[in-house]
Chains A and B, each alone.
Chain A
Amino acid sequence: MSIRDYSRESAGQRAGRDRKRHRDKCREAIRQGLARLVAEQDIIGADRKGKKASFRIRAFPEFRFTFGRKTDAVGSGSSQKRGDTFRTGKGDPRKGGRAQAGSDPGDDVYEVEVTLEDVDAFLFDDLELPDFLVKQLRQIPVPDRGGMTGITRHGALSRLHRRGTVRTRLRRTQAEEFAGGAADDGFIDDDLRFRRLSERVRMASNAVLICMMDVSGSMDDSKKFLARVFFWILYRFVQSKYEHAELVFITHHATAREVNEEEFFHTMESGGTIVSSAYELALETIAHRYSPDEWNIYAFHISDGDNWQDDNRHVIETARKLLECCNLFGYGQVNPTDSFYFPVAPSMQWSTVFDVLRPLEGEFPNIGFVKIETKEDVYPQFRELMTREKVKGVRHGAS
């Protein structure tokens, strides 16, 4: 009857409202079960287990009367024999790959397995290292074991060239037989041949990401969760841009200490907050282990903004030193909307770490700030951090 193009008209608004309501319901559920969520998902550690990351799409459950699993189903398209069994895989195929029931009562969790490379491609494809970082990207010579370039008579047993060895022995024994000498007496040292590997020097880029986080009492689970998501994205970004990336975790309250990943995300300590202690430890770590001549250094600190006021001056001093040796020094303030602790209100006569560090922005191009309130903020904020500087760089170039 008629054909009309509606696609340039604004999409219906009805979905917006219902999507928001659904997300709010999920958020409420997550807030209640947050500790478990953080404990379950090793976001940063995901790549060590076969480079797979589970992406969870949280969906609020709708309850219905359903049949149990022991019901007949019909499949098609492959030749089977009666009694054949096949693995069920992760989810029930009849439910579109839904996670196995029982893992998470009350939560409809769709587990989507994607390789981390996919995720990186999705996240970072259109995102380049900001100009100010590219300029400083340092190439570091590393010895590189390239491919096999030939056969040699000496070497480590692990590089034994079996075929070459056998061939040499055959040649030798046949020559001996031909000369009427002794019979075959097995391998002798002279037979052994080894692979020769090229030893080239390659320019590689190394990066270290120093994660600093406030673990004082006011950093509750929801704040730590946001911090963790941010660090994960930053780490994946650094890892995708550099060939070798390392992680350093520093937690602090009144004093700072280096911890492992597990502790970093799961410890909760009480006490005051002295931010500069973390910066000092970071500087120390850099001095001892990650010389700026060899490493691209990314330092990022996340807290809820709280600091002992007398420490502020020291914070600026140490931050300045960090900025001098780091590609990027960033500070993130998390104020989740669903946190039990209220963020420091601007009306209070109390300056947050953000206020303290902010003046440095004019002085150093490589300082960055993010403010995160919800999980959804994390990635846009991260993008902004990476693209904002780029724009600025372009503008500088033009002037």
Chain B
Amino acid sequence: MALHDWTIADLEAWDRRVREVVQSFRLTPYPVDFRIYDYEQMLDMHAYHMPFRYSHWSFGKTYDVQRTLKHFELTSLAYEMVVNTNPAQAFCWRDNSLPLHVLVMAHVYGHSDFFANNVWFRTLTNAAGALELFRAHADEIAAYSEDPSIPFDRIEALMDAAHALMFHRPRILGRRRETPQRQRARLVESRRAEPGEWDHLKPRDERVPPPLELDRVPLEPDEDLLRFLAEYAPLQDWERRVLEIVAKESDYFMPNVATKVMNEGWATFWHDRIFHALPERPAEFDVEYADKMSGVVVPGGLRMNPYHIGWHIWTDIYRRWEDPDPQERHDWGRRGGEGLEKLFEVRDTEDDASFIANYLTDELIARLKLFRYQWAREADGQSVYRVLDVPDPEGYEKIRRAAVMQVGNNLFPMLRVIDANYYHDRTLILEHVHDGRDLKIFEPELPLRDVRAILREKGELSGEVLVSETGEVLKHIQSIWKNPLVLQTRYDGTLLALRCDREKRITVEIG
């Protein structure tokens, strides 16, 4: 096809035109280095996410799984990938047609603009130094691998354990980790504060705070599991470094996780506008564009497609501020013509959770036909999904809340260290902060009464019913902590604890 016969000079010409349009829309992306990659190179970038990354088998796994799925055409290869660096690096698949390349360039500028302006990326990642950071980490891990005094198995086991915890980053993005000294000083200071004007109205136990245990570890519940372990577990220096490296890289990627819907929606919204503003584009470009665009913003079916949801929300925000209807003008005092300013304001300040909470309106929920559903087991044992809420006055808020719970940090259960019994037997107490969603604890996922019955009968879980992968994660943590640990959670509304002892045996305590 003629559309596939392009040269670098063609791309450069189109890049110039795209950049002109980008500027005319007042977007301010980082400059972009485009790299044309072949199929295997694209797979490689997808597995590693960065041009430099330390070695771990999980990246090889992603590579092979994606490659096999692609082989049977079960997934399609992404057309591009951008990394948050300054200058931005964008990787484009060689086999894209010329119009698709143009679409991809516009899309890439959208992402890069988001990276350069969104508060989480601006404050939490150092785009200019990112490549060096990842390269330094890769070199450091490689050096440990080559160190004859460090067995490879131990590096790998530690990596596996660190990877198991890598998404459990502090909930509040960007909060600086306090040193124990600072933390202690802050807590002491807080007790010195003068009684507030209305304190006499508070219940008595709030008026008199519990005594401070200043030698407690941790002083306050700690959500940063990787760094807590690096600081307090009995480890060698290189082991601490491995945990810190995984934590640091994970921190770098957290803004991506926290803004997936916004970011993809933003890039899609802009590539659409940029593409249609391009002068002198041949008619066959539009056909190819329409084909690809319809594939990108397709409704997600049982999942939320971030491109679909994000694109619709951004389009809706623009419409509501650029061209408000009479009702909106009256109710909210909107003057119209403020679309771009509003878009930039939202781009700069929100993340997915707030973006969905604030801008996924009832009308939009109805228009996108969003629904809330849950897995359930029918009376006949059949596994089904049951629709719980549909777009109607009763359902809007619940659907919106469910959507918020499926983005950013909410994708991962929140765990924190509440006590390490540091001056006793060092049993680590982990608390799962229950937000209404049970952890996956048993395999298969039985109701608690069935588990109870088995425990009563046999005294332990074995054979058919086992502790799920949660138990495996506990073993990973135990291998770092070296002492016993306990995970406290709720299951089916009842308190439940999983204990992992020094021999890595998992026991279940209910109620």
Contacts and interface: CB of A to CB of B under 8 A. Distances in A.
Interface of A: 1-8, 11-12, 14-15, 17-23, 25, 55, 57, 59-88, 92-94, 97, 100-102, 105, 110, 112, 114, 118, 122
Given A15-B60, A67-B437, A76-B368, 20 more contacts: A6-B36, A19-B60, A23-B64, A57-B68, A59-B65, A62-B163, A63-B472, A64-B167, A66-B439, A68-B437, A72-B405, A72-B437, A74-B406, A76-B301, A76-B304, A77-B369, A79-B369, A81-B390, A84-B387, A118-B72
Given A15-B60, A18-B57, A55-B72, A80 B34 contact: no
Contacts of A59: 61, 64-65
Contacts of A66: 413, 439-440, 469-470
A83 B390 CA distance: 10
Name, among B11, B33, B385, the residue most crowded by chain A CB atoms within 10 Å (CB to CB).
B385
Contacts of A69: 375, 440, 445
B412 interface: yes
Contact of B44 (A4, A12, A74): A12
B46 to A, nearest CB: 10
Contacts of B252: none
Interface string B277-299: 00000000000000000000001
Contact of A15 (B63, B415, B438, B441): B63
B403 interface: yes
22 contacts: A15-B59, A57-B64, A57-B69, A62-B61, A63-B476, A64-B473, A66-B439, A66-B440, A70-B375, A70-B376, A72-B401, A72-B437, A74-B370, A75-B302, A76-B308, A78-B301, A80-B369, A82-B389, A83-B386, A85-B384, A87-B383, A101-B440
Interface string B300-336: 1111110011000000000000000000000000000
Interface in B22-40: 31-38, 40
B445 A68 contact: yes
Nearest to A73: B373
A14 B48 contact: yes
B184 to A, nearest CB: 30
A246 B384 CA distance: 41
Contacts of B55: 14, 17-18
Given A67-B439, A82-B390, A73 B445 contact: no
Contacts of A122: 71-72
A92 B303 CA distance: 11
B337 to A, nearest CB: 31
B373 A75 contact: yes
A64 B415 CA distance: 12
Contacts of A84: 386-387
Given A18-B60, A75-B373, A77-B369, A68 B12 contact: no
B308 to A, nearest CB: 7
A30 to B, nearest CB: 14
Contacts of B399: 74
A18 B63 contact: yes
B469 A63 contact: yes
A85 B386 contact: yes
A112 B368 contact: no
B421 interface: no
Interface in B59-108: 59-61, 63-65, 68-69, 71-72, 74, 87, 94
B40 A11 contact: yes
A79 B383 CA distance: 21
B438 A67 contact: yes
B11 A3 contact: yes
Contact of B36 (A4, A14, A25, A93): A4
B486 interface: no
B374 A67 contact: no
A82 to B, nearest CB: 5
Given A57-B68, A65-B168, A11 B372 contact: no
Contact of B301 (A4, A7, A93): A93
Contact of A60 (B43, B61, B72, B378): B61
A77 B444 contact: no
A72 B372 contact: yes
B47 interface: yes
A6 B440 contact: no
B87 to A, nearest CB: 5
A1 B300 contact: no
Nearest to A88: B383
A85 B439 contact: no
A27 to B, nearest CB: 12
Name, among A25, A59, A73, A77, the residue most crowded by chain B CB atoms within 10 Å (CB to CB).
A73
A102 B304 contact: no
Contact of A7 (B34, B37, B168, B403): B37
Contacts of B402: 72-74
B15 interface: yes
Interface in B381-435: 382-390, 395, 399, 401-403, 405-406, 412-413, 415, 432
A7 B41 contact: yes
B41 A6 contact: yes
B164 interface: yes
B208 interface: no
A257 B439 CA distance: 54
A55 B369 CA distance: 34
B60 A20 contact: yes
